[in-house]
Amino acid sequence: MTDNEMATQREPNGVALTDQQPKTLELNFQEVNYTLQNVIKGPTQILKQASGTLKSGRLTAILGPSGAGKSTLLNVLAAFKINGVDGQFLINGKPRDIMAYRKMSSYIPQNYVMLNLLTVEETLRVSADLKLPRSTTTEEKQKIINEIMDILQLKCCRQTLVRNISGGEHKRLSIGIELITNPPIMFFDEPTSGLDSVASYQVICHLQSLAKLGRIVVCVVHQPSSRLMRLFDDVLIMAHGEVLYAGEQKDMLTTFSQFGYNCPQYYNPADFVLEVGSESSSTQRCEDLILQNKLRHSIIDKNSCKFHIDESAALLNMPPTTLTHSQELGNMHLLRLKERVGFFYQLKILLKRHLRSMSRDMMAVQLRILMHIIVALLLGVVYWQIGNDASKIVSNVSCLFFIILFVFAGNAMPSILLCIQDSAVFIREYYNGWYSLRAYYISKVLADLPLQLICPTLFISIGYLMTGQPPELFRFVMCWGILVMTSFIGHFIGVVAGTSLTMQLAIFIVPSVAIPFLLFSGFFIRLRELSWFLRPICDISFFRYIFEGLLRAIYGYNRGELACSEVFCFYHSSEQFLKDFDMLGDHYSWDITVLMGFVLVLLLAFYIALQVSIKRALR
Ligand SMILES: Nc1ncnc2c1ncn2[C@@H]1O[C@H](COP(=O)(O)OP(=O)(O)OP(=O)(O)O)[C@@H](O)[C@H]1O
């Protein structure tokens, strides 16, 4: 059977998980170098002339001392690292096409991030919805999910939230997510890290069964026990960025002994080769070992590699791509896989997922709503019925200012935390072609919308009534409009900071940047009293428009005389009060328009922040 025939038999979209994969897939890499460009230290060569062959149907372990370059080699083999890499990568003897290769392989990193508030089954379901073609029926998807849960023994925790599953189940779920598309090549970076020996054994057994179905399965492992070691068919031993041995495990010790490295009896072979690797590099015998390995894997005439034949594209029945190697290097973002389902379907699935996650998030929803209610009640008690009293006008202004501060901070800070949790998942899924940036962006904005409306609505409803603000519907609606804008601005500032900065930096930067703008709101100092060179800052301080809009909503629009409960009230007339605050004139619509402008700028900033985070992830 030819490769193409096998490719057509195999369903690349993963519809039948247990179908046989093509048995003859072979990835040969020769003289692979990886040089890291460091701005301070200059270029550092991490991989040196690494050569080896990976075969379908076989489970391969990459072993070596810490810092030997195992994870780097795995990244390079999985085509996740491209810049700074040179060497030959051949699939079934022909140069690989990088896009087709990425499509047929999956890489499972050590810390595989997932959304914590979905159950195991929901996580697999989202993966199936976004990674399988639209033509796949719900029943077919459920069949694949059930099969994966069966194979990986995840049935017992199918309804458990990801945050509650064990380390081993987490690893198995990450394998399951990648298995949805039934990739013929799978790379795992330390799949046993953090697991006890029993769980490690189970995970490697699962990998072995995936390999037995005809896949190339490669994983980096740290110090496997003898029992674990026996599960691997092939091994690749690394030291100082070089490959000492790549081949069948059964021949490993014989090869080492040919070069004078004799493994003592009853010694764990993995420990033995690690020790040899740690000592290696300069000794002649190790150089011979490295050279012999290189020769063993230089099976292809290099001249044949000058032609860019799309063998791997053919394996997937994909149209050959026209990217040349240099273009690939220049356009890393082109390596992103294309989405499998249409934009609106992506949007629907993402929206459902965001809303489901949010509805289970104590901090995002329940706690935020509860805090808005409690603080609104507290505000009402402290400023009980002062809104209509001319003698308490200064206190009322403080009350309004407090409302602004709370709604802003109460939305900005939680948004930072939530965004940071989502970002890592977004990067992984985006690069694996689950959805487009546009779909993620719109779904995120829309999913957050209900909370941005509910919180300020609850807060102003309680606060407005309890503090005795004028009982006129249009004033209430105007105040509500300003607070909704405040909530949006706070939320999007938090989201932009959370997407583009680390958590510590974002939590420090947001208040540090926002608080100085409060000085230019008109509350602490009247704008006309500011030095001339500071006045332009007022024009870009959103707090100014929020404060102005709120005061105009309460005291503007012919409010007239205020009731005075004391013998003398300085501000009897609301017009006089607004005049003294430099806010005379019924320009509420101007304030709200400027605030909408701020929201639009922040929406754009959020989109740019997502784009930047995507590009940064490639570095
Ligand atoms: N981005 C980087 N900047 C600087 N050095 C790096 C970078 N990535 C890798 N290295 C260096 O390359 C070498 C190989 O790293 P790699 O993570 O591949 O090793 P490893 O064998 O997987 O190690 P471990 O088993 O400890 O995880 C190390 O010396 C590491 O310090």
Among residues 106, 87, 71, the alpha carbon closest in space to that of 28 is found at 87
Task: Judge if 270 and 365 occupy the same domain.
Answer: no
Q: How far is CA 180 from CA 5, 133, 250, 356, in A?
A: 22, 11, 32, 22
Q: Is 563 helix (H, G, I), strand (E, B) or coil?
A: strand
Identify whether 172 is part of a domain: no
350 and 207 within one domain: no
Task: Determine the distance separating the centroid of ligand 1 and the alpha carbon of 524, expressed in angstroms.
Answer: 54
Compute the distance between CA of residue 148 and CA of residue 157 in angstroms, rounded to an integer: 13
- pTM tops 0.90, yes or no: no
Give the Cα separation of 435 and 588 in Å (integer): 41
| CB-ligand 1 contact for 64 (6 Å cutoff) | yes
395 plus 263 within the same structural domain: no
Residue 19 lies in a domain: yes
Task: Give me ligand 1 centre to Cα 73, in Å.
Answer: 10
The answer to whether residue 347 sits within a structural domain is yes
With a 6 Å cutoff on the Cβ, whether 130 touches ligand 1 is no
Task: For residues 7 and 606, give the distance between their C-alpha atoms in angstroms, rounded to a whole number.
Answer: 42
For atom 7 of ligand 1, which residue has the closest CA?
Answer: 36
Q: Is 480:456 a contact under the CB 8 Å cutoff? A: yes
> Which atom of ligand 1 sits closest to the CA of residue 189?
22
Q: How far is the CA of 106 from the centre of ligand 1 (A)?
A: 21
Q: How far is the CA of 518 from the centre of ligand 1 (A)?
A: 46
Sort 545 into a burial class: Cβ within 10 Å, 0-12 / 13-18 / 19+. Answer: buried
Residues 371 and 316 in one domain: no
**What one-character DSSP code corresponds to residue 27?**
E
Residue 157 domain-assigned? Answer: no
Ligand 1 mutation target, pool 72, 236, 242, most atoms within 8 A of CB: 72
Q: Is 536 in the pocket of ligand 1 (CB under 6 A)?
A: no
Ligand 1 atom 18, closest CA: 69
Q: What is the pLDDT of residue 336?
A: 67
What is the residue type of 23?
K
Question: Which of 32, 36, 218, 221 maximizes ligand 1 atoms within 8 Å of its Cβ, making it the mutation to test the pocket?
Answer: 36
Is the CB of 69 within 6 Å of ligand 1?
A: yes
| pLDDT at res. 435 | 95
Residue 162 domain flag: no
Distance 288 CA to ligand 1 centre (A): 24
Interval between CA 602 and ligand 1 midpoint (Å): 38
Which residues are CB-neighbours of 512 under 8 A, at least 6 positions away?
none
pLDDT of residue 489: 97
Q: Whose CA is nearest to atom 16 of ligand 1?
A: 69
Q: 541 and 406, same structural domain?
A: yes
Helix H, strand E, coil C: the string for 61-91 is EEECCCCCCHHHHHHHHCCCCCCCEEEEEEE
Q: Is the CB of 223 under 6 A from ligand 1?
A: no
Q: Whose CA is nearest to atom 8 of ligand 1?
A: 72
Q: How remote is the CA of residue 46 from the centroid of ligand 1, in Å?
A: 8
Assess if residue 332 is contained within a domain.
no
Quote the number of domains for the chain: 2
The C-alpha atoms of residue 260 and residue 107 are separated, in whole angstroms, by: 36
What whole-number distance in Å separates Cα of residue 608 and Cα of residue 619?
A: 17
Residue 590 located in a structural domain: yes
Domain span including residue 258: 3-121+181-322
pLDDT along the chain (619 residues), means of 10: 37 43 78 85 88 94 92 91 87 85 86 92 96 93 93 92 93 90 90 85 90 92 90 94 93 90 88 84 71 79 39 41 39 63 96 92 85 96 92 93 95 85 86 92 94 95 96 96 97 94 91 90 86 89 95 91 84 86 87 97 96 81
Does residue 68 have its Cβ closer than 6 Å to ligand 1? yes
Q: How far is the CA of 70 from the centre of ligand 1 (A)?
A: 8
Residues 498 and 610 in one domain: yes
249 and 300 inside one domain: yes
Cα(220) to ligand 1 centroid in Å equals 13
Task: Read off φ and ψ for residue 35, nearest 5 degrees.
Answer: -115, 125
Atom of ligand 1 at shortest range from CA of 222:
25
Please indicate, yes or no, if residue 242 is contained in any of the structural domains: yes
- 20 and 86 together in one domain: yes
Element at 314 (helix H, strand E): helix 311-315
